Chains A and B, each alone.
Chain A
Amino acid sequence: MSRILSTGGAINEAIAIAMRTDPTVILMGEDVAGGGDRSKDGTEEMGGVLGTTRGLVGEFGMNRVRDTPIAEMGLIGTAVGAAATGLRPIAELMFMDFLGTSLDPLLNQASKLRYMFGGKVKVPLTVRTVSGAGMQAAAQHSQSLYWITTGIPGLKTIIPSNPVDAKGLLLAAIRDDDPVIFCEPKGILNQSTEVPEGDYEIPLGKANIVREGSDVSLVAFGATVRIAMKAAKALEGAGTSAEVVDLRSLSPLDEEAILTSLEKTGRMVIIDESTPRCSIARDIAAVCVDKGFDFLQAPVKCVTAPHTPVPFSEVLEQAFLPSAQDVLDSVGQMG
């Protein structure tokens, strides 16, 4: 059974299912209920800055759905400590840009406690965060910082591209016993599709071949999957068969899927809405050149945002973001 849900609705459903099936799952963050004491009887809450968590305090109460002060380091650090001592918290970092104010508990605590303690503790924490550009939220509320969390050993980083995947991946992330950063890209939030009811998980660490093809591989994730599909359609019209790989998971990374696709087509474009230096795109390109060298028919192209902050004006922000045309230009250049 399916019904139409937005990405936010699918995420809401995943959280609710997780909280119903496990009493140690709690939700905490800034305005996740909203309205302070008005949430006591569950009728007046806001459900997050984008409404994603509406309804949850009504069902689960203020013991398990907790509004925190605007104190990212404290809220995330507390969530880490709670995860290490028996809870399974979902902590919300309102915008991924706030990784700056919350990095220490993730970088130096959550990611390392298990390792430093010789495997004797686990940190089953999920940090949900809204990432990416496209809403004119400007430089400090539009960044895609998954390249930072991906590079930190001990963390996992997950990024869905559509409502169905968002629900399944989030359920898997919450139930995963390692700390997971779950990105909710702005570019997919207004998507609505049929989403299956019920409890289902999509395994972390496995990419999805969204479209099969034989001439060029378009590797995308989050908001760029839609761009890749648009480019693939245009390429088909011009006689080029494009394969679209939706990574779903940045750490762990499904290297096997990437290299299998490269072996098939010999040509790859990686589409990443973040900035280029030390990016996911270039990381994958290096893997291809190292482990897939003999498959290469052409240079591996990276389509990314430029090395700049995110601009405000709509025309500038649209120019900042990767587009299907950028993908077509790369395919044309690579030969």
Chain B
Amino acid sequence: MGFTGPELAEIYRRMRTIRSFEEKLHELVSAGKIGGFMHLYAGQEAIAVGVCAQLTGADIVGSTHRGHGHCIAKGVDVKAMMAELFGRSTGTNRGKGGSMHIADIEKGMLGANGIVGGGIPLVTGAALTAQVLGRENVAVSFFGDGATNQGQFHESLTMAANWELPVVYVCENNGFGEFTPTDFVVPVKDIADRASSYGMRAVIADGMDFFDVYEKAGEAIELARKGEGPTLLECKTYRFYGHYVGDQTPYRNKEEAEDWIQNRDPLDIFETKASEAGVVEPDEFRRIDGEVAALLNEAVEEAEEAPLPSVAEVLTDVYVRYEG
């Protein structure tokens, strides 16, 4: 398998943390304890963790409105994230951003983004910085199937291909763009088919299988780092919740959804494969589950106790400096 027991345990912990974080948010938002629009990543954990496991701290990722998973996978502090969602001044964004803009530049997380496709040029720019300054880092843009219809996707990939930028474009194709099935609005069979418009390499991975994502992401990242240009990596997946908390998903086939959720859960798939390798004790996974649950409860408690930003903060940090 190539992974040690502790490495697998850590991967599992990351994925479980994402899943539990999203489940906890579902509870909190449904109970009215957190405000705003919340878009949950549950079901797609293998992609965020699979890709980010191949990245260093210097590498940069950008995400979408469904960005909690990428934050956690990139090492952003869970408690600071929870505080942000509660709008506290101890949050990652000091309470100024919320779920759709959650970010941690120091960890190389260029932010979730509320504009569909809006993060793609930003990550392309991060790759441009690396190329201009001769740095070793790569940039990875996470986005959904819906974003590939955006002009920003087209223009960014065009530029990245022309300049052979050190960037990997990871499309998480979960079958739906908001309330509309992907095949209703994307005229090609696989998103990967679009890469040929840019002369760009494309790969398809099973987004529910950490190991498949890890391997294919690793290849793409390596090529980018070596200066051999960008790759479009399409990961087939499914989002277990609706588009946002509150979406009852009447537009999805109930049986199909149940099948993904019951039979193709990435955490189950990972646990099965990792157990088969024989380097992780079975109780280990349950122990990790318990620790993660405790972490999240702590995160919620601490967030509830944390200070709200003062009203004066409405006016701060619009500019670095603004005379006039």
Contact = CB atoms under 8 A, between A and B. Distances in A.
Interface in A291-312: none
Contact of A117 (B60, B93, B130, B151): B93
A81 B96 contact: no
B56 interface: no
Interface stretch (A67-75, A138-146, A191-199, A325-333): A67-75
A153 B318 contact: yes
A121 interface: yes
Given A63-B132, A69-B158, A69-B159, A81 B124 contact: yes
Given A24-B133, A108-B115, A77 B156 contact: yes
Chain A contact residues (Cβ within 8 angstroms of B): what range? 35 or more
B97 interface: yes
Contacts of A109: 113, 115, 118, 122
A75 B128 contact: no
A49 B169 CA distance: 33
Contacts of B154: 71, 74
Contacts of B276: none
B149 interface: no
A114 B132 contact: no
Given A120-B105, A255-B324, A78 B115 contact: no
Nearest to A124: B320
A178 B125 contact: no
Given A81-B122, A120-B103, A154 B319 contact: yes
A114 B320 contact: yes
Contacts of A64: 132
Given A81-B125, A104-B115, A153-B318, A116 B96 contact: yes
Contacts of A112: 101
Given A77-B121, A254-B324, A84 B132 contact: no
A283 to B, nearest CB: 13
B317 interface: yes
A120 B97 CA distance: 11
A255 B104 CA distance: 36
A81 B121 contact: yes
B118 A119 contact: no
Interface string A42-81: 0000000000000000000001101011010111111111
Nearest to A108: B115
Given A178-B319, A205-B324, A206-B324, A115 B122 contact: no
Contacts of B152: 73-74, 77, 104-105
Contact of A252 (B95, B163, B320, B324): B324
14 contacts: A74-B121, A76-B121, A80-B122, A81-B126, A85-B110, A85-B130, A87-B128, A104-B115, A115-B96, A116-B96, A116-B97, A117-B111, A118-B93, A205-B322
Given A69-B155, A153-B318, 15 more contacts: A73-B151, A74-B159, A77-B155, A80-B122, A84-B122, A85-B130, A86-B133, A104-B152, A108-B118, A113-B111, A117-B111, A119-B317, A154-B318, A178-B319, A251-B324
List of 7 A-B pairs having minimum Cβ-Cβ separation, nearest first: A81-B125, A252-B324, A77-B121, A74-B155, A118-B94, A205-B324, A81-B122
